[in-house]
Amino acid sequence: MIVVTGGAGFIGSVIIRYLNDAGEKDILVVDEKDITDRKINLSNKIYTDYMDKDAFLDAVKRNRLKGIRSVIHMGACSSTTVTDKNYLDRNNFMYTRDLSIWCVNTGIHFLYASSAATYGDGSLGYSDSDSATPSFKPLNLYGQSKQDFDVWALKTGYLSKITGFKFFNVFGPNENHKADMRSVPNKAFKEIGETGKIRLFKSYHPDYTDGDQMRDFIYVKDAAEAVMFFFRNKNIAGLYNIGTGKARSWNDLAKALFAAMNLPVNIEYIDMPETLKPRYQYYTQAETEKLRNAGFSNAFTSLEESIKDYVGYMKEEKVL
């Protein structure tokens, strides 16, 4: 059996789609008890059972689960605005730590989601090397909870036995439930449909004009393909950036959306909230050399083609 935590969520449910397409049907989905807001993400998936995340961790601690060969741990609180550090410590750091210890001790292949939020403002670069990992300073408590686990896994030697993914700006089908944490393409699709325009933040950095702040946008299908590569190659461990390695601007993204919706480009630049200015990232771009050296050779879908494909899902209100 394969366990996918956060399996009703965004990336987790897409991974289940890819597992199903690869012939994997014996899957235990782990997520919150109430998944009313994202139950649709599992509507077209094949899986054996579903378990509440707290009940699952209790079963792990009591060693009641047998016959599991892989755990793909995508479950976490991913909100960058949560201010309850104790909750994030329990839900993100300690949960992942306890699960990884159990998997290593019982010979179960363990893969988990870290985040590019660990890189903070980017001033220390975007290297996924072991030597660089302890130095990063996240800008929010969510990123810190992911950084705390990465550093713990590195210092204890667990990182040589498990595989982690630093996801950059992932967008695509199955994210409607994420509320304010939905991607900009998801939010903007509705905004453009209602108003005919998209609003982007003004720039307050001399090196970037309005809307030309840059991100490493990666389509969720490409992110899932990367995870599947490591799922199939159980001998490859370590921490890996999951990004395209090519930063694109918000203006590029907006133009791709208008083109996919067959509408004229109409961008309004708005003031950035004062609370966001000190911790805003003007540029992110994954270093992908380590990922490529591991053997992942897939080409990443261009921003324009990704947006075009995603708009098709949003227009038809369907999940992947």
Catalytic residue among 142, 219, 240, 310: 142
Catalytic residue among 161, 178, 187, 197: 178
Amino acid identity, position 127? S
Parallel, antiparallel, or unpaired for β 248-249 and 214-215? Answer: antiparallel
Cα–Cα distance for residue pair 232/33, rounded to 1 Å: 30
Instruction: Please name which of 105, 114, 197, 191 lies closest in space to residue 150, comparing C-alpha atoms.
Output: 114
Kindly give, in sequence order, each residue whose CB lies less than 8 Å from that of residue 12, ignoring residues fewer than 6 positions away. Answer: 4, 5, 6, 31, 72, 74, 75
Q: Per-residue DSSP letters for 203-253? A: P-STT--TT--EE-EEEHHHHHHHHHHHHH-TT--EEEEES-S--EEHHHH
Task: Look up 161 and say whether it is catalytic.
Answer: no
Task: Look up 178 and say whether it is catalytic.
Answer: yes
187-221-22-110 Cα dihedral, nearest 10 degrees: -90
Cα–Cα distance for residue pair 226/65, rounded to 1 Å: 27
Cα–Cα distance for residue pair 43/320, rounded to 1 Å: 10
Cα–Cα distance for residue pair 261/212, rounded to 1 Å: 21
Contact (CB, 8 A) for 130 and 237: no
Instruction: Please name which of 1, 134, 158 lies closest in space to residue 65, comparing C-alpha atoms.
Output: 1
Tallying the residues shown for the chain, one arrives at: 320
Active site residues: 142, 178
